[in-house]
């Protein structure tokens, strides 16, 4: 089997982008005339370009493209820094290198063109996001005809790579998602979520797991962990070496954990109030009963933290303060800056979801997964298209990516309440504005010291937004809250095991008016931030006592071993 003819590739490329004279003709048109397709498209959606900026972009583009074209005609391969095109197959072939360099030039121009748009910041962010999706999708690495690595493998395997790639693609179509990991390598309960424990309670919304103590003495105050309901809890209990749950147990805590159900039609009418009252508040009451302790160390991760804080505010309104401490990991309480997720949130989109789901129905897990994948398409989509489909490779075994593909549904009414009252209207932080479970809530009434964690490269919960919780909780109590900033992103920053001791984190014991001031005075520390959290829990854990011999009590008896049935249910 032969490689496609280089001239045929060149012809195909030039038929799309035109030769330099065509580009020169196109860009020399006035930036606001119908002869400029991009300008026309932007005008159609109600935005305008800065003429002087467009003129500068045009001149810069024509200069750079002409220089690139001249290098190509002279047989000189351009220098390319992008890691997608770093291999010898790209760099060593003038046509492939020209393809990649032309693509990168066009991508830079389109991005710069968005920056020249005169419109509101949110509208510009949406335009930038949409353009970036197109730019990433049109990479020459994503197509067999323009990917020299895939072509080379096609020859080396005598066509077998293409056969395997088609089989991989058909298999993923049947599964409904792109395979990011070798899914046969993992099984929940076999080599994931294997920290020993027992399910001691269940209702339709959640199971409550009590983990088996491993130390001769435990802190008197138990720890109740509430993971996000938007995905499976075992992100906190992957394999033993990177399990935050196991680590908490090994630090001498009696650990309870909420394992949310994967909603089906029977839960299609479930509300945010239900997640608060029948979920977290119910779990608090059971842990109090089983442990014999009125105070608990509370923990929430991502939206789990938002639900925990809401539940504690409801209880505060009822005159109850069950939290000895509160841990929030990558959690929004103030939704002023929601980062790139803001492109999905406006009145039109939220109203549409409300029309579809407010009175019942499910937000499918596959739609949520697609949304989050679109935030990092090169890493979570196109990387696997190239490897699995174009090159016929099998994905490697990676526990975190296996979890990432194990999606969950959300009840429509709960999802709609969450979108409108937090992301769209940012009402949760305003004292008395929202009524939840029959109570007007005020997060400032939660009387518990807080450990607040953010990840520096988090694209889902920007770390400065996570820091904002420090100014909402325990107002007027300097030093009551502690903030720790970890390296990496939303998940990898949290799951930073002490056994691997990677990356670093930042601490600042002083109070700061805002996030930037805090960071300016912070100290970077190598390794995992987990010991900082363990120290915080120990400070609020009470005295050391002998662990109970059996899980549960006379009222709440063992149902099944951890991790339980609920976490194994797949999104329909």
Catalytic residues: 302
Pairing of strands 544-545, 523-526: unpaired
Maximum C-alpha span of the chain: 84
Radius of gyration (C-alpha) of the chain in whole angstroms: 27
Q: Tokens 């002490």 label which residue?
A: 498
Rounded Cα–Cα distance for residues 208 and 562 (Å): 9
Q: Give the Cβ contact number of residue 555 at 10 Å.
A: 10
Name the β-bridge partners of 87: none
Q: Dihedral sign for Cα 461, 463, 468, 469, please.
A: positive
Peptide bond into 207 cis (omega under 30): no
Q: Give the separation between CA 203 and CA 190, rounded to whole angstroms.
A: 24
Structure tokens at 89: 């197959």
Residue 171: burial class (beta carbons within 10 Å; 0-12, 13-18, 19+): exposed
**Strand order of the sheet with strand 296-301?**
523-526, 504-507, 481-486, 450-455, 323-329, 296-301, 223-226, 255-260, 206-211, 197-202, 560-561
The dihedral sign for the CA sequence 13, 16, 17, 19? positive
Residue with tokens 């939660």: 446
Does the CA dihedral 481-487-491-494 come out positive or negative? negative
CA count, 13 A, side-chain hemisphere, 523? 4
């Amino acid at each position: 089997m032969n490689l496609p003819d280089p001239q045929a590739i060149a012809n195909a490329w030039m038929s799309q982008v035109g030769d330099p004279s065509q580009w020169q003709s196109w860009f020399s048109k006035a930036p606001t005339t119908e002869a400029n397709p991009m300008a026309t498209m932007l005008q159609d959606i109600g935005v305008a370009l800065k003429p002087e900026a467009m003129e500068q972009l045009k001149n810069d583009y024509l200069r750079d493209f002409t220089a690139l074209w001249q290098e190509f005609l002279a047989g000189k391969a351009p220098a390319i820094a992008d890691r997608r095109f770093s291999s010898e197959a790209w760099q060593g072939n003038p046509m492939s290198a020209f393809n990649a360099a032309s693509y990168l030039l066009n991508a830079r121009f389109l991005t710069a063109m968005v920056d020249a748009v005169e419109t509101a910041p949110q509208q510009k962010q949406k335009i930038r996001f949409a353009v970036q999706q197109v730019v990433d999708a049109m990479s020459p690495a994503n197509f067999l005809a323009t990917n020299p690595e895939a072509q080379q493998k096609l020859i080396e395997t005598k066509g077998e790579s293409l056969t395997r790639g088609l089989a991989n693609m058909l298999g993923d179509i049947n599964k409904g998602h792109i395979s990011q990991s070798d899914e046969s390598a993992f099984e929940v309960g076999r080599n994931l979520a294997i920290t020993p424990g027992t399910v001691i309670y269940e209702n339709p919304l959640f199971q409550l797991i009590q983990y088996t103590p491993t130390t001769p003495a435990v802190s008197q105050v138990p720890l109740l962990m509430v993971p996000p309901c938007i995905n499976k809890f075992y992100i906190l209990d992957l394999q033993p070496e990177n399990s935050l749950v196991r680590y908490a147990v090994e630090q001498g805590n009696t650990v309870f954990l909420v394992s949310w159900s994967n909603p089906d039609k029977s839960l299609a009418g479930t509300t945010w109030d239900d997640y608060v009252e029948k979920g977290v508040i119910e779990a608090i009451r059971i842990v109090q009963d089983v442990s014999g302790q009125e105070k608990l160390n509370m923990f929430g991760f991502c939206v789990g933290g938002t639900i925990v804080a809401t539940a504690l505010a409801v209880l505060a309104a009822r005159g109850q303060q069950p939290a000895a401490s509160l841990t929030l990991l990558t959690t929004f309480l103030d939704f002023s800056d929601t980062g790139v997720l803001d492109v999905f949130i406006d009145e039109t989109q939220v109203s549409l979801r409300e029309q579809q789901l407010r009175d019942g129905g499910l937000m499918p897990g596959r739609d949520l997964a697609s949304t989050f994948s679109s935030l990092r398409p090169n890493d979570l989509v196109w990387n696997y298209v190239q490897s699995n489909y174009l090159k016929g490779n099998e994905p490697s075994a990676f526990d975190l990516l296996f979890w990432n593909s194990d999606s969950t549904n959300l009840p429509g009414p709960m999802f709609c309440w969450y979108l409108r009252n937090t992301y769209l209207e940012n009402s949760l932080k305003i004292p008395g504005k929202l009524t939840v479970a029959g109570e007007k809530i005020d997060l400032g009434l939660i009387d518990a010291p807080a450990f607040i964690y953010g990840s520096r490269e988090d694209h889902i919960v920007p770390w400065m937004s996570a820091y904002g919780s420090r100014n909402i909780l325990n107002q007027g109590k300097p030093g009551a809250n502690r903030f720790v900033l970890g390296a990496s992103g939303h998940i990898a920053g949290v799951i930073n095991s002490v056994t691997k001791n990677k990356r670093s984190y930042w601490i600042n014991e002083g109070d700061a008016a805002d996030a930037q001031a805090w960071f300016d005075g912070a100290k970077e520390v190598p390794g995992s931030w987990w010991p900082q959290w363990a120290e915080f829990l120990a400070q609020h854990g009470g005295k050391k006592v002998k662990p109970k011999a059996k899980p549960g009590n006379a009222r709440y008896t063992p149902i099944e071993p951890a991790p339980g049935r609920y976490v194994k249910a797949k999104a329909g």
